[in-house]
Chain A
Amino acid sequence: MLLPDHDFLKPRTLAEGLDALRDAPAGTRPLGGGTDLVFNMRCRLVAPPAVVSLKDLPELQGVAESADGTLRIGAGSRLTDLVADPRITARYPALAAAFRAVASRHVRNLATLGGNLCLDTRCWFTNQTKEWRDAKGPCLKTGVDACHAIQGSSVCVALNNADSPPALIALGATVTLASAAGERTLPLADFYRDDGIRHTVLGPGEILVSVTVPPVTDRLVFRKETARQGMDFAYGTIAVRADGRGERATRLVIVLGSLTTAPRRLVAAEEKLAALGLGEAGLAAAEATVRDALGALTNLYSPAAYKRDLARTLLSKAVTELRELPA
């Protein structure tokens, strides 16, 4: 459980950092707050020859607000700063709640938004010490064609346990990625892949630079279900966004987190609620779509049957909360 030998690079500018990543040996990892990567290194789950610290790069810092109300949040922003930022807390209290749901104050003092969005997927057959994994035998993530979570699965089904993606996806946030070769911007919803090993679209030497949240006046609700209040990974999270007021809504976005490998949007449920309203009839119809939308689930950290129930519960509680929000 000791940190293995590695080189540590601390570039001063984004350009320097991107060059360093381009020129570094294969397997080099960018480092944000380190609350995820360092622990995975201790477990020998990853053994990068070098890490490149991005945390203090000036281009990755801070929140900027445009005239139209668009927020650009630097990926290196500490979660502690974001949960206290009035531009976020005043307009998007549910987003601030999602940031605050991450771990504890101590962890948020280190952790960055970029780090949380890129949080590695988790599985209790791989997020263990090397000795533990050696005893169980390797898997897709650690180098052979085997999955301990779902027998016969050809793709890694580890969970995306990050708390911040669902609310940001619901808000229609986009992410800007950069490498030495250039920049690109895409919806956060498209950033994730249903593959526990390559769980984001980030290419070699590419990093997350910023998150852009368009101006939104819709209602937004975030919920997290955990074993304990505070400092825990979720059993499940949900973000629900809706226009209108009370039980009326024509446009919804519903995103579940922590139940699957990528955050999962519930399109059929959105349609039912838009058609039937947010009352009990609409909710019942929406809940009935959840099982199919989720498909096969793992028993990782909680039983699959519970995950299915929990998804419905999260939907029901979130929609109930949403329709009771004061206008």
Chain B
Amino acid sequence: MSTDDLSVIGRRQPRLDGFDKVSGRSVFTDDIVLPGQLHGRILRSPHARARIVSIDTSRALALPGVKAVVTSADAPDLMFSDRQPLLARGFVHYAGEEVAAVAATDPLIAEEALDLIDVVYEPLPSVTSLRKAMQPGAPVLHDWAPGNVALTHDKDFGDPDAAFAASDLVVTDEFRSPVQHNTLAELHVVLADFSNPDKLHLYTPTQGAPMYQMQLAKAFGLETSQVRIVYGNVGGAFTGRGRAKPHHLIAALLSRVAGKPVKIKATGDEEFIMFRGSGETEYRFRTGVTRDGRIRVLEADVSFDAGAHAEWAMILWLPAPYLNWLYKVDAVRYRGRFVYTNTVPKGSHHGGIFGRLSAGWMQHLTHVAEELGMDPAEFHRRNAIDPGHHALDGSDFASCGLKECIDKVVERSGWKQKYGRLPPYRGIGLGIGAQASGGKNASNDTSAALVKVADDGVVTLYTGIPDMGQGSHTVMGMIAAEVLGVEPADIRIVAGDSDITPFDWGAFSQRGTFTTGNAVKAAAEDARAQLAAIVAPLLGAAPEDLVFAARRIHVKGQPPDAAGKSLSFREAVGKAFHGAEGRPIMGRGFFNSPRPSGSLAYSFGAQVAEVEVDPESGAVQVLKVTAAHDIGRALNPLAVEGQLDGQVFSGMSQVLYEECRMDGGQILNPSRLEYKLPRTYELPEVEYILVETIDPYGPFGAKEVGEGPIVVTMAAVANAVANAMGELIPRMPMTPWRLLRVIRHREKQNRG
């Protein structure tokens, strides 16, 4: 299908829910109040590690207004995950761990009741950092994990040893990244109604209902369908809402005990105690190249801080395939380990694990290029994959605009005039990256959709994909409108209720546009086929000769309003429903990748960042980011630009600003005042370049723009700062004091 045939796709479509959002009409979880609703609060461990000697809840229970107090004694079999009781049992393993919870008629009473729960702890030696946990002789958190290593993942592709041996040059660099929190606009909140023990209703923001349903069903011994997840509007996720957290289960438990709905809402600082953001990461890259700049072998060795429980093992596995997606190489080696520490269990941050690794990896590869005396842009381009590439990990790349992206940013940023020619403390950096559009982590990667057309021509689309701010509902509406030949404004979206909306794993792994988009397209095509079958005889044409456009259906080759050869969409639906058959139009569709594993499509991108470091204060200003991305077709360029702005912002934030500053297992800066996110003032000028390779598998050729750009921004900004400083910056974030220390050290050396 050429662009000329598309009327809705490719349009700069404002959000369909935009007016509701900005006028305050949109309903978020905390807006929902159920009759008799109670307020829950969680008592958390003050210790990084301790034995629980005793818990006495009698004073809290006696407080008027308190309707339930729960500890592990009330739910001895309730597990959060395989080896993790929902409420601490005998021991606590991190400061902030859930020990007890109360539900009361008023939030102040609930808060007061927490003070009346008497817990006696016997503190134990703890390990509160990745380095401490990996030291020989460090206290061991769990007896099943000697040396505190929870899991390892070792993977060789090709023959790395031979490839290193055959390399002319081998370069090694090491990096460190801090604990980071995926600060969400909407704080963690849940409203659980388990007053009927046969049905658990859970209102909460999520990236996808099925994971939550499965976790809660397993914990409470229910069938999946007995758990209903309602997730109307979601205020951001950034990987932070991929799985249910303890508070979801605790609210359900409190509701079951009290027989009333219970709401638990995190406070601003609690958000930083219960989060599942990125843990400390130490990573080493080793790369072997030929003298003329061909990469033979890539190696990464990564240690992840898992926190006290290995909840998110997936982040340990993901880097192995990722190393294969950018360059044509002979071999790849990955060594990863997941290490227990006495800190909150960790997950991942915006950009997934690739973002933070990329900030180091791309500095390292720039270093390799400079050792070879090559322009880094030329080095990346020389090794970059082409469409049709089959990678060592088995990935196939049907579409790939990587080289075009590199060429475009090099040209538009003036790279050749600037690289190596900027004044001191001005820097320019190039990063490249790839990202998968969905991927199989279970038996399937399915999304389904339903389309209902009312006899007034209004189309209702039922989808389980959440809109977390990324505009997915608008894009789904555009896809349905394009197929049915109507306007996006004609589409009503019903979303986010697992009792109503069809199956959808949800919005993660950048699968929304690609996978759910294909499902919506299939459902709309099903509805269109039903309409076409009814309309075709009336217009004296074959169903496949009908064109759906501009709210009309006409015979191909005829003008859209040709007498006897066309009718309006509304008339057509009326003929179906009010005709002899009385047929309501209901389309259904689903999509699942035909690949047994991995992904069908990958986005690619390149960015050039320009920065200025103030040599007197160490502060970095990002001046400009030039971003070229191959995202397949841009279904809604306006939303794509929004994604790019957001990801450039979050990417530079992670490289330059964000850090949970830890002190013996406690976070010193658990607030948005002290956890320094940049603001709009700090956002640089962003120049967008869309490289539209039309992917054969994506809906209308689309791939993803959900996390691809941020990975590249982190690489480009890190490289730009390293370029301005004239040396690698191994420690993230690149705060003023870290850079100033480097500058002062160098001044001292120059003097001495």
Contact = CB atoms under 8 A, between A and B. Distances in A.
A309 interface: yes
Contacts of B617: 225, 310, 313
Interface in A211-246: 225, 227-233, 235
Contact of A228 (B44, B47, B616, B676): B676
Interface stretch (B339-347, B536-544, B735-743): B735-743
A132 B269 contact: yes
Contact of B737 (A4, A129, A302): A302
Contacts of B679: 228-231
Interface string B679-696: 101100000000000000
B44 to A, nearest CB: 7
Given A124-B668, A129-B267, A129-B269, A228 B678 contact: yes
Interface string B600-629: 000000000000000011110000000000
A131 B44 contact: yes
Contact of A124 (B44, B669, B737, B741): B669
A310 B740 CA distance: 9
A185 interface: no
Interface string B718-752: 00000000000000000011001100100000000
B246 interface: no
A309 B678 contact: no
A229 B668 contact: no
Given A228-B676, A229-B679, A230-B679, A135 B666 contact: yes
- Which of B44, B270, B676, B736 gathers the greatest number of chain A CB atoms within 10 Å? B736
A298 interface: no
A313 B741 CA distance: 13
- Which of A231, A303, A313 gathers the greatest number of chain B CB atoms within 10 Å? A313
B111 interface: yes
A227 B269 contact: no
A229 B681 CA distance: 6
A313 B47 contact: no
B681 A230 contact: yes
A301 B270 CA distance: 20
Contacts of A135: 46-47, 95, 666
Contacts of A8: none
Interface in B30-56: 44, 46-47
Interface in A300-327: 301-303, 305-306, 309-310, 313, 316-317
Interface residues of A, number: 32
Contact of A132 (B666, B677, B740): B666
A316 B668 contact: no
A219 B705 CA distance: 53
B354 interface: no
B107 A2 contact: yes
Contacts of A4: 108
A230 B677 CA distance: 12
Contacts of A316: 616
Interface of A is mostly: loop
Interface in A124-149: 124-125, 128-129, 131-132, 134-136
Contacts of B95: 135
B666 A2 contact: no
Contacts of A288: none
Contacts, number: 70
A238 to B, nearest CB: 12
A233 B269 contact: no
A1 B267 contact: yes
B20 interface: no
Nearest to A4: B108
Nearest to A130: B115
A132 B616 contact: no
Contacts of A125: 668
Contacts of A228: 657, 676-679, 681-682
A84 B669 CA distance: 34
B673 interface: yes
- Which of A131, A233, A301 gathers the greatest number of chain B CB atoms within 10 Å? A131
Contacts of A231: 679
B737 A303 contact: yes
B682 A2 contact: no
B741 A305 contact: yes
Contacts of B676: 227-228, 232
A212 B138 CA distance: 61
B159 interface: no
Contact of A306 (B107, B673, B682, B737): B737
A234 to B, nearest CB: 12
B670 interface: yes
B740 A128 contact: no
Contacts of B682: 228-229
Contacts of B668: 124-125
A108 to B, nearest CB: 16
A248 B513 CA distance: 66
Interface string B646-674: 00000000000100000100101110011
A50 to B, nearest CB: 18
A283 to B, nearest CB: 12
A129 B95 CA distance: 14
B743 to A, nearest CB: 9
Nearest to A43: B269
Given A1-B268, A233-B673, A317-B616, A131 B736 contact: no
B650 to A, nearest CB: 15
Nearest to B267: A1
Contacts of A301: 674
Contacts of B669: 124
B233 to A, nearest CB: 23
Given A2-B111, A134-B46, A305-B741, A128 B616 contact: no
A232 B681 CA distance: 12
A276 B91 CA distance: 66
A301 B668 CA distance: 9
Interface string B229-261: 000000000000000000000000000000000
Contacts of B744: 309
Nearest to B737: A306
A231 B268 CA distance: 17
Contacts of B670: 128, 132
B128 to A, nearest CB: 12
Contacts of B663: 136
Interface in B250-286: 267-270
A5 B108 CA distance: 9
Interface in A23-42: none
A324 B681 CA distance: 26
A306 B738 CA distance: 9
A225 B741 CA distance: 17
B275 to A, nearest CB: 15
A300 to B, nearest CB: 9
A128 B269 contact: yes
Nearest to A104: B679
B398 to A, nearest CB: 43
Nearest to B269: A129
A275 B339 CA distance: 60
A228 B741 CA distance: 20
Contacts of B657: 227-228
Contacts of B44: 131
Given A129-B267, A232-B673, A302-B736, 12 more contacts: A1-B269, A124-B668, A131-B44, A136-B666, A227-B657, A229-B682, A235-B736, A302-B737, A303-B737, A306-B736, A306-B737, A313-B616
19 contacts: A1-B270, A2-B111, A5-B108, A124-B669, A129-B269, A132-B666, A132-B670, A136-B666, A228-B676, A228-B682, A230-B681, A231-B679, A235-B736, A301-B674, A306-B618, A306-B737, A306-B740, A309-B744, A316-B616
The 7 residue pairs across chains A and B that have the minimum distance between CB atoms: A135-B46, A306-B737, A1-B267, A229-B681, A227-B676, A313-B616, A124-B668
Interface of B: 44, 46-47, 95, 107-108, 111, 267-270, 616-619, 657, 663, 666, 668-670, 673-674, 676-679, 681-682, 736-737, 740-741, 744
